[in-house]
Amino acid sequence: MKNADKFLRTFSARAIRPLVVAIACASASALSVTAPVLAADFEGARIEMTMPFKEGGGTDTWGRFYAPLIGEQLPGQPVVVVKNIPGGGSTSGANQFQMRAKADGRDIFASSGSTMFPYILGDKRVKYEYKDWTAILASPTGGVVYISSDLGVKSIADLAKLKDADLKYASQGATSLDMITLLSFEVLGLDVKSVFGMKGKGEARLAFERGEVNIDDQTTSGFIKKVQPLVDEGKAIPLFSWGVLGKDGKIQRDPTFPDLPSFVEAYEMVHGSAPSSERFRAWKAFFIAGYAAQKGLFLPKGTPDDVVQAYRDAAAKAIAAPGFADKAQDVLGDYEQAVGDEASKMFSEAVSMDDEARAWVINWLNSKYSAGL
Amino acid sequence: MLDTLTTSLLTVLSMQHILYLAGGVFLGLLIGIFPGLGGIAGLSLLLPFLYGMDPISALAMLVGLVAVIPTSDTFTSVLMGIPGSSASQATVLDGFPMAKQGHAARALAAAFTASLFGGLFGALMLTVFVLIARPLILAFGSAELFMLTLLGLSMVGVLAGNSLVKGISACGIGLLLGCLGAAPATGEYRMSFDNTYLMDGIPLVVVGLGIFAIPEIIDLLRQNRAIAEASELGSGWINGFKDVIKHKWLSIRCAVLGTLVGALPGLGGSVVDWIAYGHAVQTTKAKDNPQFGNGDVRGVIAPESANNAKEGGGLIPTLLFGIPGSGSMAVFLGGMVLIGLEPGPAMVGAELGTTYTIVWSLALANVIGAGSCLLLSKWVARLTLIPYALMAPFMLMVICFAAFQATRSLGDLVALLGIGVLGVLMKRFDWPRPAFLIGFVLAGGMETYLYQAVQFDGWSFLTKPGVLIIAAITVASIYFAVRTKPADKTDDSDETTDTQAATEAPRRRASNLRPQIVFAFAVVGLFGYGLYDALQHSFLGGVFTAGLCAFMLVMSLIVLVKLLRGRLEDPVNFDNEVEAGYSSDNSITSLPHYVYWLTGLVLGCYLFGYLIAIGLFFVIFLLLKARTSMIKTLSLTGAALAFLVVLSHLMVLDMPRGLLQEMVQLPWPLS
């Protein structure tokens, strides 16, 4: 302890003063850099998009696609950078955004269906509140459910034949985005055995190609690029697409797949009437969170109106810019992007599921899949 | 096809392409040198620049970066005993002893030559293999992948060290730790104490750094000297090169292994180096004088040939199916999508030209990367001559930064400390850490694939032809392991052990077994808790860990009973404090001393945030331990902090915040 004693004396005499000076200088220079911005002008600013996923995933790619386009259109043309905070199935990043984001337009949040699902289900890890946030933009996507041609079913009209078939589905988990698919099997009355633990939709498709499972779904881009060749070879039969959410709140056929019935049409073919049960209402809420408004950009609680407006205008201009559709093809598909109030409306419909439907879903997940909610 | 090949070659050899490629290689080399920072960190630095670049140039940068990280990460593995990334963990086992003996130059030369060879071989395999790989990859279902994890586990037999039961128990600790968090079948959280961080499981980077880097740093600090015992780095660049030529067949076999394991999606590239190392040990006959673990150059060549070949193999599922085999491939995939390239069957159809551009770039990047490493190594190797007290704060800073990369929460640092302490104890009592790591890496895949295989095919999956073939290979692998390790080294029979101990005269044996007994008791307790926890879950959520813990309870109880019997000659008895003579040497600092320092650092992060804590740590450590002057201390601290701030700004990364930042609003970068 002699050392420590000597050290303390040396330290107090020689270190503290220069250290204090150094810290003071550093803070002063840092302060001068972060001069307060004028409202809705982002000249020279660096805007951080909180991304609750690792680099390289679907939402990350989506966010990195939009970041420069929106930055260009904002007043002052700031740089928009992506800040990845993975963990907790995207709840960690969202919690951090809720807690730390400043309401000056320099913090935005990239949300995905996997951020909304735990929120809707009341997961105990969720400490964020979608109702506090303001939506800038919503990106829809679609998807197709398809089966192996070995099952001898040619289209959804033969669905009755599938009732006795030994159906297997490879899934990432009962509370992941695949829950929409599991729910739709439940609504249609199909008895499907789910095998969990897949690490992504790609692995599930591989299991289908290997013949380990015989029913699967893929999002639009995955279906066109990787399943359509299997359909052309006669190995896979598409059954139905999820559909898209119309402005009237009804589910319509997906324009990317005009020949495929939507899920609602498929239901009517099987049951002869339009769906209306609590399980269908639950399905619809998750469908909006998982497909119709799967990805979204949000501003934190208390963001001033002019900043919100600046962002909404920037998003609208980015989407209307010439050449956007071409660039967007690979990342966004042919879906119409929703901006401003339209986006807000979709998100609020997704997160305000009625209690009866929620109770049913939670009970279903717990009893059928031991989800422990 | 030949046409496409030459067109792609011309694209690759254009000046612009080479420039971008070299840029990627340069970044990759830099990232690889810092321990723990791997492909993911590099690609996240690169991603913001990719958007809007022309696809071929962007691709060149991406490939350049990914290709050379397993080359330059060898530096710290060999020179400091700290794995540069998960790809070169096995290189440490023999590379570091070589450096300690003053053969750093030879080890590095051998490693880079092997890397170059492996990388080129991987590219060559990719050229042909990519066209026919589809059916092969489709032939590996969950059942076959499960068998492959068993094959990987069989390497534990080779890496178990002196006592097989201890090796198996160490592997069991790894397996159990790997099962932490959500169960693959049900999503139930196991052993996570409702802690959000533990629910996701502990990241591999944190475990790798904790189990290998922390114990090594602490050990070197305790001895308080430079790394190299010899004052010269030694010549031997040429020897290293010759070593690879001499062991060319080993190198080729390991490159094939690397490509194959890399090409199979789901197994993960992190075990490639161990499998290659295990293979080298198994196939080296006694007459070739194996010195594995004590600086055998074959132990360097094998993993280095494999880990560069792996990148070539790993591109196959990434390009063909859009399924990344590793973390860095996942980011590579994201980069591809961002520049407008969608992986899929088209990559061997309409886009074949692009695929071959990638292949050629990969080959070229390996040449540039290995060449620059050879040139650089003279200077980098001098780091081993610096007194370690001066190096340690930098190493700790980088390691904490790298660990924090994993999930960007303070939990990473706490986990690093926890695993680090486990690593220190395992090193002290000779519970083989490679076995632990293999268990950890394979745990997730093993459970998931077993569950899926049973769901898909029932137990009849065991009769599938692919499964039987891999089972046969596994049995052969175990046979070779037993053959290389003479029976008297395992502790099956006490008589042979006695005679062996008698012939091994000068070895110091610990006579106070109490510390070992306490540790073994804790391990038994861990498995006991694991079993208890498993029984709290649904059948599918708990059956794997329950079975595992039940088996491991038996194994670890054997170790405990052997220790309690107090027979000093038993191979389970090992205490490095005695064996290395630390306990009788007064110049060696006590073991917990530096653990307290590390704990202080993590505690400081909790209170003041990472940046302030590491700054204080630097100042205090340099003044007290390295006894540098105040001016030197402050300038070193300033340089280190500036480096951190710039890097985290570029990577768009918030440093861990402490209580201080929660309470008061501080200006950037202190916030």
- CB < 8 Å to A331, chain B: 337
Cβ pair B438, B152 in contact under 8 A: yes
What's phi and psi for B401, nearest 5 deg? -60, -45
Query: Which two structure tokens, joined as six digits, stand for B241?
Result: 């090169």
Q: Does residue A353 register a pLDDT over 90? A: no
Residue pLDDT, tens place only, A40-91: 789 988 999 999 998 877 898 899 889 999 999 999 999 999 999 988 889 9
Residue pLDDT, tens place only, B15-33: 888 999 999 999 888 888 8
Specify the CATH number of the domain A46-140+293-355.
3.40.190.150
Q: Which of B142, B186, B448 sits opposite A369 (nearest CB)?
A: B186
Q: Does residue B224 register a pLDDT over 50? A: yes
* Contacting residues for A39 by C-beta, under 8 A, at least 6 apart: A304, A306, A307
Q: Which of B323, B620, B666 sits opposite A206 (nearest CB)?
A: B323
Indicate the range of B197-201, B206-210, B379-383, B388-392 predicted with least confidence. B379-383
- The nearest alpha carbon in chain B to A226 belongs to B344
- How many whole angstroms separate alpha carbon B165 and alpha carbon B562? 10
Strand (E) or helix (H) holding A252 = strand A251-252
- CB < 8 Å to A86, chain B: 407-408
Residue pLDDT, tens place only, B336-372: 877 778 787 778 878 888 888 888 898 899 999 999 9
- CB < 8 Å to B671, chain A: none
- The nearest alpha carbon in chain A to B344 belongs to A226
**Mean pLDDT of all residues in chain A?**
86
Given pLDDT bands bounded at 50, 70 and 90, which one contains residue A338?
very high
Q: Is A22 exposed, middle or buried (0-12, 13-18, 19+ CB in 10 A)?
A: middle
Outline which parts of chain A fall under CATH 3.40.190.10. Answer: 143-290
- How many whole angstroms separate alpha carbon A25 and alpha carbon A23? 5
Of chain B residues 377-416, which have a CB less than 8 A from chain A?
Answer: 407-409
- Establish if B616 touches chain A: CB-CB under 8 angstroms: no
Q: Is A51 exposed, middle or buried (0-12, 13-18, 19+ CB in 10 A)?
A: buried
- How many whole angstroms separate alpha carbon B548 and alpha carbon B530? 9
3 state SS for B125-157: HHHHHHHHHHHHHHHCCHHHHHHHHHHHHHCHH
Kindly state the percentage of chain A with pLDDT values over 70: 90
Residue pLDDT, tens place only, B557-613: 999 999 998 888 888 888 888 877 787 777 788 888 899 999 999 999 999 999 999
Q: Which of A3, A65, A205 sits opposite B338 (nearest CB)?
A: A65
- CB < 8 Å to B40, chain A: 54-55
- CB < 8 Å to A26, chain B: 670
DSSP B409: S
DSSP B590: P
* Residue B337 to residue A7, Cβ atoms within 8 A: no
* Residue A22 to residue B638, Cβ atoms within 8 A: yes
Cβ pair B202, B529 in contact under 8 A: no
Compute the radius of gyration of chain B from its Cα atoms: 24
DSSP B33: H
What's phi and psi for B621, nearest 5 deg? -65, -45
B669 preceded by a cis bond (ω within 30 of 0): yes
Compute the radius of gyration of chain A from its Cα atoms: 25
How close B265 comes to chain A (CA, Å)? 9
- How many whole angstroms separate alpha carbon A90 and alpha carbon A123? 12
How close A249 comes to chain B (CA, Å)? 32
Cβ pair B282, B158 in contact under 8 A: yes
* Residue B652 to residue A84, Cβ atoms within 8 A: yes
Q: Which residues of B271-292 are buried (b: 16+ CB within 10 A; e: fewer)?
A: bbbbbbbbbbbbbbeeeeebeb
H-helix segments, A34-136: 58-73, 91-100, 113-121
- How many whole angstroms separate alpha carbon A129 and alpha carbon A116? 10
- CB < 8 Å to A15, chain B: 619, 623, 630, 633-634
Query: For residue B233, what pLDDT is reported?
Result: 59
- Establish if B351 touches chain A: CB-CB under 8 angstroms: no
ipTM of the complex: 0.83
Specify the CATH number of the domain A143-290.
3.40.190.10
Nearest C-alpha neighbor of A48 from the set B649, B49, B43: B649
Taking the alpha carbons at both ends of chain A, their separation in whole angstroms is: 54
Question: E-strand spans in A63-191?
Answer: 79-84, 107-111, 134-139, 143-148, 167-170
Distance of CA A108 to the CA centre of its chain: 15
* Residue B456 to residue A195, Cβ atoms within 8 A: yes
Q: How many CA atoms lie within 13 A of A32 on its CB side?
A: 5
* Residue B40 to residue A54, Cβ atoms within 8 A: yes
Query: For residue A39, what pLDDT is reported?
Result: 56
Outline which parts of chain A fall under CATH 3.40.190.150. Answer: 46-140+293-355
- How many whole angstroms separate alpha carbon A83 and alpha carbon A62? 13
